[in-house]
Homo-oligomer: A and B are copies of this chain.
């Protein structure tokens, strides 16, 4: 292996090795293979590239900021509260205008609660009693409002009463109005400002269109005719989610407002627009069950002239809106393009393998083709001779070709 040999080795590096093919003049398998090839090509071009945009690099890690602002007032006249006007500061909780906001539509008010003793509500099983022994002092009422004092309070003639509790007294009554208090919340509007950013592509956009004039944004309402107006009527949102506002206002519920950004950044930025959809997130079917509706309790605390604290307890029913933003942006990139073409070609190999199976084992002359495809070589013991056995025809037992 002198000078010459190394040169030959180097030169042979640049010889091109290509697989040797056997042409089987079998039209059936040939057509089958073309069909398989065309299917894979159609799948690759049609599905992977056109539909799924496989030539794009995608970013789904969206940065999003949501600002919400409600507008609307409601007038109520009840025996407990008298004539009262409700504005944004009254019915929106929390007031900050984040992506989750709650609009109060119904209310059980228990005013002037003070820390003292009073009978537990008769609706709470653990608060019922027949004698003082049923109310061990210091024990909290299970699912109740206070701590038992040890006395059983009964009406004059009844044998059953309810335990006296140390609590915020009087305790809450368990009845709610038959119709929603703030029924007119249906006409409130919410302005949803959503700005997003795809960090991978350094692309930012807002759902409030820059080209719109100010007066349009002050008067428009979102609908199929105005798909890019960011102002929504609460009643419409609930209706589009498939629910009745008045029913929902009574028991409360949770509505999801999905904002979806599906952006093809190979096109103009103006073609990247939000798509809104609405759905109910709590279980509307189980209407009587514990799992439906939405309510919570909160209190406003006051002090009287002597500095003694008292509070007004609110059990607020209403609709919670969860604004959820998700999105996907795609932009041409060489790497996913190469990967998709590569995996498509690998599929071609799988197609060839499948057609080989047909050719070598399923058709009539498979024995013949097997012989042609596989060239058996056996090195004789006399290595110097260099005359390998070359059998054009194989024995029928060469199943190992798979």
Contact = CB atoms under 8 A, between A and B. Distances in A.
Interface stretch (A150-158, A242-250, A262-270, A342-350): A342-350
Contacts of A376: 15, 22-23, 25
Tell which of A140, A210, A258, A305 has the most Cβ of chain B within 10 Å: A140
Nearest to A310: B303
Nearest to A14: B30
A97 to B, nearest CB: 5
A13, A29, A353, A399 interface centre (most CB from chain B within 10 Å): A13
A345 B350 contact: yes
Given A23-B374, A168-B87, A206-B283, A65 B254 contact: yes
Given A138-B75, A140-B74, A388-B392, A343 B342 contact: yes
A367 B232 CA distance: 71
Most buried by B among A33, A65, A285: A65
Interface string A380-398: 0001001110101111111
Given A256-B63, A305-B305, A349-B346, A16 B5 contact: no
A316 to B, nearest CB: 8
A374 B21 contact: yes
Contacts of A21: 17-20, 373-375, 401
Interface majority SS (helix, strand, loop, mixed), chain A: mixed
A290 B138 CA distance: 37
B399 A18 contact: no
A279 B197 contact: yes
A89 B311 CA distance: 10
Contacts of A9: 397, 399
Nearest to A307: B112
A356 B83 CA distance: 88
A96 interface: yes
A356 B5 contact: no
Interface string A320-339: 10101010000000010011
Nearest to A345: B350
Contacts of A298: 89, 95
A296 B16 contact: no
Contacts of A320: 67, 96
A135 interface: no
A115 B84 contact: yes
B355 A90 contact: no
Given A282-B193, A346-B343, A290 B374 contact: no
Contacts of A387: 392
Interface in A259-310: 279, 281-283, 285-286, 289-291, 294, 296-305, 307
A46 interface: no
Nearest to A395: B8
B96 A16 contact: no
A307 B302 CA distance: 9
A23 B398 contact: yes
B75 A140 contact: yes
A180 interface: no
A148 B294 CA distance: 32
A177 interface: no
**Interface core residue of A30, A146, A356 (most chain B CB under 10 Å):** A30
A332 to B, nearest CB: 17
A24 B15 contact: yes
B26 A16 contact: yes
A341 B350 contact: yes
Residue with the highest number of chain B CB atoms closer than 10 Å, among A22, A43, A258, A387: A22
A350 B342 contact: yes
7 contacts: A15-B26, A65-B254, A65-B256, A75-B166, A87-B145, A208-B283, A372-B377
Q: 3 tightest CB-CB pairs across the interface, nearest first? A: A65-B281, A14-B30, A95-B298
